[in-house]
Copies of this chain bind each other. A is one copy, B any other.
Amino acid sequence: MSYVQNTDRDRNEMLEAIGVSSLDELLEPIDESLRVHGLLDLGPPMSEAAVVSRCTELARRNRPAGVAVGFLGGGIYDRFIPAVVRYVLSRSEFYTSYTPYQAEVSQGTLQAIYEYQSMISRLTGMDAANASLYDGATSLAEAMLMACGIKRKGRILVPRALSQRIRMVLESYAAGKRIAVEEVPFSDDGTLDAASLAKRIDQETAAVVLAQPNYFGIIEPAGEIAALVHERGAMLIAYVDPISLGIIAPPGEYDADIVVGEGQPLGNAMNFGGPLLGFMATKKDYIRKCPGRLISATVDRDGRRGYVMTLQTREQHIRREKATSNICTNEGLCAVAAAVYLAALGDTGFRELALQCAAKSRTLYRMLKETRGCSLAFGENFFQEFVVNITSPLGTFLAEAKSRGILAGIPLGNDFPELGEGALLVAVTERRTRVELERYRDVVRQAGGES
C-alpha cells in the first residue's frame, strides 16, 4: 500500500515551483554521511489484502475472551460492551480528530469530554474530574506528585494489597522527585491494617493511598481510614474501581482529596492492556494543582454555550518545567467510550451492573466455599473479586481449567508469597453465567479429588 497521493507529475510540478531540480536538493541540510544509503531492512510494501492476512493470522494465534471464559481481573476486566460504544468510536469525527486546539471546530470532542468529566464527578462524588490520564497506574503516580506538591512533603503510604504492577509504576515516578513510597500491611480479613497505618503516618507523610476495593477485591472501611488519615494531617488518595461505585460509597462520601482509578472497565475493550484510561477527580480547591486537560463550559461571542480547554496555565505547553505534569496526548477517545458506556447504562443500569457483579462473584465464592480442593483467603467483604487458594498444584489446576475453556485467575504467589503458593485472584464480571461458575466449581472439585 501507499497512502501518498502525489503522482510523478505532481512531484515534478512541485519541484519546479520550489525551484529545485530534485528531491535530493531539499535534503541538502543533511550531510551525505548522515544519510541512509539504500533501503531499510524492512521488506517490500504489502497490499491491503496481504496485510489483512498477515495480521489475521497473528490474531488467530491468540486466545481472546470470545473464545475462553475468563476469570482474570486485577484491574482489567472482560465486560460486555454494547455496540453503541463502538458505533460512536468508529465515527471518524471522533477518532480521526486532533486535540481540540481550535475549539470552534471541535465542539463535538469538547462537549463529549465535558460530559465525561461530569460523569466521573458523579461516580466519584467529587467536585471535578479531568479529561483523562494514561492509565490507573500513572494516575496514581500523578496523584502522588500532586499531593506531595500540595503538602510540600515527600512521603507516601500505600497498601500492601495493591497491584504490584501499579506499585512499580509508582516507584518509577517517585524516584525522580525522591519520594519515599512505604507500605501498610493488610490484616487477617484482607483490609488495611488500621493500627499499623496510624503508626506510620508521620510529619513527612503527604498522603495515604486507599485502594477501594483493594487488590484482593476486599472493600475497605473507607470512612474509618479517611478519618484516621485526615486527623493526622495527610491527604487521602483513593484508587477506586469505577464499576464498584454503583453500589459502594464513592470517595466523595468519605472526603477523599484526590480520586484516581483505571477506567478501562468503562466501555473499553481489554486490548491486551492498552490503551487504558486513567481518571482523576478532586476537590474544588485542588483543581488548579491537577494534571492533564480540563474542559470547561463557556459562552461564545453570541452568548451561546460552548466548550474550551481551560486552566491551561497548569500545562506543559505554557508552564513548561513548572507544569503540574508533562502530559500532553492523553486517552481522549477512551474517555469518550466511557461516557457513551455510562450513558448507555444509565443510572439504574449502572447500579444493576455493579450489583450483578457482586451477586455473581458471591455465587462462585459460596460454591467454592463448599468445595474441596480450595480454601478462601478472606471473607465475603469483597466487591467482585476474591482470593482463592487452590490446594492441588496450581500449574496443573490452571492447565486443567484451561483445557475446559476456563482462564481461572491470576496467580498471586510471586507477588504475595504470604498468601500461599496456590493463591489465585478470581474476578467474576457480569459476563459470566451461572453455568460457567458451575463449570469453574467442577474443575476445582475435580482437582480436589471430589467428583
Contacts and interface: CB of A to CB of B under 8 A. Distances in A.
A243 to B, nearest CB: 15
Contacts of A87: 92
B431 A48 contact: no
Contact of A49 (B52, B66, B431): B431
A87 B90 CA distance: 9
Interface string A263-307: 000000000000000000000000000000000000000000000
B82 A48 contact: yes
Interface string A291-328: 00000000000000000000000000000000000000
A148 B430 CA distance: 63
Contacts of A82: 48
A66 B57 CA distance: 11
Contacts of A90: 90
Contacts of A66: 56
Interface residues of A, number: 13
A42 interface: no
Number of copies of this kind of chain in the complex: 2
Nearest to A48: B82
A82 B80 CA distance: 29
Interface string A65-103: 010000000000000101100010010100000000000
A430 B48 CA distance: 13
Contact of A80 (B49, B80, B83): B49
Contacts of A52: 80
A80 B49 CA distance: 7
A56 B431 CA distance: 15
A290 B83 CA distance: 41
A90 B88 CA distance: 11
Interface in A88-134: 90, 92
Interface in A180-200: none
Nearest to A90: B90
Interface string A406-442: 0000000000000000000000001100000000000
Nearest to A56: B66
Contacts of A430: 49
A92 B49 CA distance: 26
Given A56-B66, A87-B92, 8 more contacts: A48-B80, A48-B82, A48-B83, A49-B80, A49-B430, A49-B431, A52-B80, A90-B90
10 contacts: A48-B80, A48-B82, A48-B83, A49-B80, A49-B430, A49-B431, A52-B80, A56-B66, A87-B92, A90-B90
Interface of A: 48-49, 52, 56, 66, 80, 82-83, 87, 90, 92, 430-431
Give the top 3 A-B pairs by smallest Cβ distance, nearest first: A49-B80, A48-B82, A90-B90
